[in-house]
Amino acid sequence: MAASESSIRAQAGPVAAGWVWIEPLLGLSLGAAGGAVRSALLTTSLAHGVLLGSLFGLAFGLFFAQRATSPGAGLIWGVACALLLWVMIPAGILPVLAGSSRSMGMLRDARAQFPELVAYLLCLGMPMGLALGVRGGLRSRAGQLQFRMGRAVVAGGLAGTLGGVIFGRWMSAGDFFPLIAGFGELHSHTANMTLHFGVALVIGATFGMLFQRDIRGYGSSMGWGLGYGIFWWFLGQLTLLPVAARIPLDWSAEHGSELFGALVGHILYGLILGVTYATLDRAWVRLFIQSDPLNREVEGPGIRILHSLGWGALAGFVGGLVSSPVMLATGVLPEIAGLGSGFSILGGLLIHLFISALIGMSYGLLFRNEGMAVWSDLVVSRTHDLLAAYAYWCLRLEHRCSFRAASVSHGTSDLRRCDCIDLSFA
């Protein structure tokens, strides 16, 4: 037994050692590629950029890869390490070697190296952190909560949109839009508002996708939101928005000073985004993830409501399809909306199916706990249909029925000549 265990350990040793070197090698390759892109954007030496990026990637993979447990955490750690590298080399060691020991001289040199800061963050820190963060999330998936895309996009997008509302006073009073400050002027105020909330929605949705597993409370959410907001000032205002507006990139300190107000707005936006996302995410967990301990139900109340609405809409849609031939035969399908002008057959069919789906959704929501068997469901559904039909007829008070008796060979009126009877609920 001891010999077999030692042989298993001997076989697992080289495999584990091979896995340990994946992060440094991945960081080395990504750093070399990022250094090449940095050199191309700043028109500097390609060899110097590749060497600097390779060393940065190798060091990050060796010493900080364990911190990158998710894409969001990896992004913040990558950007922070890139900022540290910029402080140490372009803004620290190089000015000292050049003889700039005075504070004003160092400040002037730091301003001159501001394009290097943007390049370090976007070309080295961002891809490095995201790649190793994705790998870290896959590596430690067993010990983490399950990632849910719908929860991340919905809660994050709503939090981002609500966070964009804080700039309402700036947008109304000074016509200033911090989230799109680098895009340039648009032709109307409505276009600026639309783009502003579109960017806020994108930032919020990506925040939820990146940091869903890292939000543990309001404190951590504020920290992640603050860092992500500042990062989006570099990525959005200084890079993506000018590219989208076909404006040449300007990473100079002077241009950054012009957009300093937008940086303050991004800081406030990031804090509010983090707090709002934490609140909405907690509400999402209570509604859709946590089970009911009293009723011992596996699914949360939100999931049960969604299932009821979905099955009800499907049932109503099927019922609308079944009743469509009768309505078509009686000639009331084009008059489905109760208007005298009339719709085409296709338009009336679409409206009829939409109303049928809404009736089915309301039925599934109101009577999801009432049906015990097929016949009881049938009785309850007929009662619900009568109520829905009555409400539908009340909404058509402006329309008056004009029965025109036609064939009375059997003592009954011909329903095909009725102008207002709707058989969709029959």
Question: Which two three-digit tokens encode residue 246?
Answer: 């076909």
Whole-angstrom distance, CA of residue 304 vs CA of residue 316: 18
Mean pLDDT of 182-193: 76
Q: Count the alpha carbons within 13 Å of 413 in the hemisphere toward its beta carbon.
A: 11
Q: How confident is the model at residue 173 (pLDDT cuts 50, 70, 90)?
A: low
**DSSP-assigned letters across all residues of 250-270:** ---HHHHHHTHHHHHHHHHHH
**Residue of higher predicted confidence among 129 and 167:** 129
pLDDT digits (tens, 9 = 90+) for 86-135: 988 887 777 766 666 565 566 777 888 999 999 999 999 999 999 999 99
Distance CA 213, CA 73 (A): 9
Q: How far apart are CA 124 and CA 111, in angstroms?
A: 20
| Side-chain half-sphere exposure of 61, counting CA atoms within 13 A | 26
Prediction pTM value: 0.66
Using an 8 Å Cβ cutoff, are 285 and 150 in contact? no
Q: Which residue has the higher pLDDT, 394 or 345?
A: 345
pLDDT for position 105: 64
How far apart CA 65 and CA 229 sit, in angstroms, is: 23
CA dihedral 125, 128, 134, 135 (to 10 degrees): -140
Contact 186, 169 (CB under 8 A): no
Residue 391's contacts (CB-CB under 8 Å, 6 or more residues apart) are: none
Look at the block and give the residue holding tokens 């922070």.
Answer: 80
What ranges do the domains of the chain cover?
A: 16-144, 146-290, 301-425
